[in-house]
Structure 1
Amino acid sequence: MNTVSGGRDNQSGAPERLVNMSQDELERAVRETFSRQVATPRAPHDPAGAVLRRAHRIQRRRTVAGMSLAASAIVLVSVSAMHLRDDHPPPGGTVVIADPYPAPDTYRTVLPSPGPRTETPLAEVDLLVNRTIATAQGRRVTLIGIGAVERAHRLTDGRGWLAVGEPSLAGRSLWAVAADGTARVLLAGADEIVLDRDGRQVAWKQDRVLAAARIVDGELAGTVRADAPTTAVPLRFVDGAVLVRLDPDLPGHVLWPLRPGPLDEGTDRTSQRIFGALPDGRLVGEVSAETPEDACLTLLDPVALRPPEPPACGPTIEGAGLGAVSPDGRWLLVNGRVGEQDRALLVDLTRLDSTRLDPTVPVRPAGPAMTGAVSWNLPDVAHYADATGALVRVDAERVRAGRSAVRVTVPGLRDDEPLVVVTGG
């Protein structure tokens, strides 16, 4: 073996170093070192090794996640580019449809919802009170990331709600609200927005653009657009079509069958208001009798929107305002006048039909005048908010027996925030 440099004359106390060692001697020294390490009992815990191993695992996960995110971003950008190429709105349309890439100054932090909590139900229907939905089952769901709401609709599958915003200088918005209260915008900038009874379709109007789309898993699909007069306003869905009033200041309606191109304005110039449809498709509305101020209830053909031939009138309802037909077509709850007072009135539509539009069909006072939406949560029970913001419950059989509707006390309702009665469900 070669000499050892430094021997006992090395006063530094450092370990002796081997020099001029052959390849075979080096290999034997390495094997002896490993043999001694194997023979030495291992420490029960190696902190440094554990940290290194954990760091390697984290690095591998970040690398895989980064590659996945990059691939997802490429797919999203490609899909968005295809959508923009294939779905340009007509000139004049400025409605934004669920923009997934807003400008940087539109981002805002949305705190996670604390989740629904269960308390005593406030009513037989869902209510929006102080930015919280109180369900008929007693849940309280705080809305997250949403503006001021004028109307709300419960989805039939129980997966949440659709909320229509109040009108503003920027137009109306439509939000899809999940069951935990978190929301995302589906539409923004519309003049008017209407939903079908099941919350599966939406129609909107902006300037001269009339549009409709399906709502599938919180997204809009199959958008159809038509050119319409600037005065036209969508009112409601009727058997898959959209009922449109041609001018809010003039009589006349048309059913838009969700067909692209110019809107066919039809020939109806006599219908004053249309409140809904019967199961057979006929529309319940008002037509001008002798003067525009003197309108009577009638049943309109759903195609041409014409009253029966020869012309026939049911009872006359003075005044103008809201109205809603029950889902089974039995009842009409409508705003009218009793003497000098605005009231909600109840009409039995079976009597109206069976008596061939007899003007003597009784129109019974039901309660204070309605504001906002009417929810027929049962075939013969409706809820609405009155002008004071109170909740009113109308039991049709009770009203027919001569008793008035009942005001329902809603705990926690503030005077500065209106009550919104949720429809659908």
Structure 2
Amino acid sequence: MSRTSGDCDNRTGGPKRQLPVTEDELERALRQTLAGRVATSRPLAADPAGAALRRARRTARRRTLTGLALAGVATVLVTTGMAQLGGPSGHGGTPTVVLGDPDGFSPSPLPTTASPVPGPGPVRAELDLIVGSWLDTSGGERRELTGVSGVERAQRVPDYGGWLVTSAATAAGRTLWWVPPNGSDPQVLLAGADAVVVSTDGRQVAWRDGGYLAAAGVVGGQLVASTRTTAPAGATPVGFAGDAVLIRQPDHGGVGVWRRSAGGTPGGANRDVLTVYGTLPDGRVVGLVSAGTPRRPCVALLDPTRDLAPLRTGCGPAVATDGLGGVSADGRWLLLNARTSALLVDLAGLGAGATSHPAGPAVAGAVAWTRSGAALHVDATGGLVRVRPDRVLAGEPPTTSALDGVGPDERLVVVADTRS
């Protein structure tokens, strides 16, 4: 029903409409108003995005607190010596502490460029160097090794997996650190060990803990598949021959082989073996034996499968038995000490012929060979010596090089490269 303009609107007696509006038009306007309200999105009572962000922040806080708690537990273990490799240490001194969770490790990220640090620029050489508490890589990067001191030896880990760094002997024993490749601070793998030796490929480590010998693989900065056995009196690990550990037994004399994969204790020592320097690519061990008439130290190739029985022996100039020296990656050369200087021995011609050559200043620390066939070591003055076999054969004796950026009180250590 329609109304005329003369009727009052809604029967209120108020002002009258200027234009006539029918019921149909009013109903249509109401429907349009309601439809518009439905089409317009109303604010939600809850904020899903905000809730998700709040949940993420709470998760991150929980993970941070968990990490801090784990770090605190690790600190307590190192301080109190409670994280032992099972059983008593066998001696009254500080027990060996073994850190790491083999079941829960995650591989470290690939190396990243080290951040610039204050101080002098890196010390450059063909191999990585450790100068005091700083790591200077051959690529020109410099990193401070926080918490690391008194370094004696260092070994690269394969596949850019960082570095294994061993301290010199102290009253508290030796420490083994793993330096991650991603710039993080070094992590302690062993603390308080009587002796530590790392394989030349950086994949294994052996140590003595009181009355026990132990060995383990190294994966992602963790010690895995560890084994241990009772140690003979005075026995210490001095090297590897494959998976077997070479054990010096000074109280009994000689060097023996511990085939840890087969279990049991180290085999009987070969008393003629005085020291070992490394292995050839085919697995033979290079060392010194007591031979000749009168008996004297001679370089020999030893068979690790037959209790280090000599396979070939060469007796030349008098050599030192201090154990300082190293075998080239290709197995051709041995650098070791004579009485007052270094000596380069051609292992390919080992036998009755003259196979040794004077090689400059005596070795005072670890010997590391580059993949190009040069040996680097530190002499008694703390300088770096480069031994290039081709130049030695040409009659050019190596000399010591003083490196810029190395202080008089800073110890220089050459980092061994990996050998596969």
On whether the aligned pair clears a TM of 0.5, the verdict is yes
Q: How far off its partner does 1:326 sit? A: 0.8
Question: Are 2:290 and 2:296, in contact at CA under 8 Å, matched by a contact in 1?
Answer: yes
Work out the percentage of aligned pairs sharing the same amino acid.
40
**Superposition pairs of residues 6-405 of structure 1, within 5 angstroms:** 60-61=55-56, 63-65=58-60, 88-92=86-90, 94-98=95-99, 115=115, 122-179=124-181, 180=183, 182-247=185-250, 251-259=253-261, 262-289=264-291, 294-303=296-305, 304-308=307-311, 313-321=314-322, 322-337=324-339, 342-352=340-350, 357-358=351-352, 360-405=353-398
Q: 1:293 & 1:141 partners in 2: Cα distance?
A: 49
Q: 2:282 & 2:85 partners in 1: Cα distance?
A: 36
State the partner residue of 2:79: none
- Name structure 1 gaps, 5 residues minimum: 1-37, 39-51, 78-83, 101-112
Q: How far off its partner does 1:199 sit? A: 1.4
Q: 1:195 & 1:116 partners in 2: Cα distance?
A: 30
Question: Are 1:143 and 1:181, in contact at CA under 8 Å, matched by a contact in 2?
Answer: no
- 404-413 vs 194-203, which moves further: 404-413
Q: How far off its partner does 1:219 sit? A: 1.1
Alpha-carbon deviations, 1:130-186, whole Å to 9, x = none?
Answer: 321111111111112323322111222223211111211111111111231511111
Q: 2:383 & 2:84 partners in 1: Cα distance?
A: 47
- Aligned with 1:378: secondary structure? coil
Alpha-carbon deviations, 1:45-89, whole Å to 9, x = none?
Answer: xxxxxxx99998886555445666789999999xxxxxx999623
- Aligned with 1:372: secondary structure? coil
Question: Are 1:381 and 1:393, in contact at CA under 8 Å, matched by a contact in 2?
Answer: yes
Question: Are 1:153 and 1:423, in contact at CA under 8 Å, matched by a contact in 2?
Answer: yes
Q: How far off its partner does 1:404 sit? A: 0.8
Task: Tell me how large the CA RMSD over aligned residues is.
Answer: 3.5
State the partner residue of 2:402: 409
- Aligned with 1:397: secondary structure? helix
Q: 1:319 & 1:411 partners in 2: Cα distance?
A: 31
Over 3 Å counting, the alpha-carbon distance change for 1:351 and 1:305 in structure 2 is same
Question: Are 1:334 and 1:344, in contact at CA under 8 Å, matched by a contact in 2?
Answer: yes
- 214-223 vs 142-151, which moves further: 142-151
- Name structure 2 gaps, 5 residues minimum: 1-36, 38-46, 73-81, 102-112
- Aligned with 1:370: secondary structure? coil
Question: Are 1:172 and 1:190, in contact at CA under 8 Å, matched by a contact in 2?
Answer: yes
Q: 2:57 & 2:288 partners in 1: Cα distance?
A: 66
Question: Are 1:226 and 1:259, in contact at CA under 8 Å, matched by a contact in 2?
Answer: no
Q: 1:292 & 1:261 partners in 2: Cα distance?
A: 39
| Higher share in strand | 1
Q: How far off its partner does 1:317 sit? A: 2.8
Alpha-carbon deviations, 1:3-31, whole Å to 9, x = none?
Answer: xxxxxxxxxxxxxxxxxxxxxxxxxxxxx
**Structure 1 residue identity aligned to 2:388:** D
Question: Are 1:224 and 1:260, in contact at CA under 8 Å, matched by a contact in 2?
Answer: no
Q: How far off its partner does 1:377 sit? A: 1.1
Over 3 Å counting, the alpha-carbon distance change for 1:127 and 1:280 in structure 2 is same
Over 3 Å counting, the alpha-carbon distance change for 1:267 and 1:383 in structure 2 is closer
Alpha-carbon deviations, 1:333-372, whole Å to 9, x = none?
Answer: 01012xxxx11100111111xxxx21x4232110101111
Q: How far off its partner does 1:416 sit? A: 1.0
Q: 1:64 & 1:126 partners in 2: Cα distance?
A: 40
Question: Are 2:378 and 2:385, in contact at CA under 8 Å, matched by a contact in 1?
Answer: yes
Question: Are 1:276 and 1:283, in contact at CA under 8 Å, matched by a contact in 2?
Answer: yes
- Aligned with 2:396: secondary structure? coil
Question: Are 2:123 and 2:403, in contact at CA under 8 Å, matched by a contact in 1?
Answer: no
**Structure 1 residue identity aligned to 2:266:** D
Question: Are 1:122 and 1:411, in contact at CA under 8 Å, matched by a contact in 2?
Answer: no
Q: 1:258 & 1:392 partners in 2: Cα distance?
A: 37
Q: How far off its partner does 1:243 sit? A: 0.9
Over 3 Å counting, the alpha-carbon distance change for 1:254 and 1:66 in structure 2 is same
Question: Are 2:243 and 2:261, in contact at CA under 8 Å, matched by a contact in 1?
Answer: no
Question: Are 2:132 and 2:149, in contact at CA under 8 Å, matched by a contact in 1?
Answer: no
- 380-389 vs 316-325, which moves further: 316-325
**Structure 2 residue identity aligned to 1:319:** A
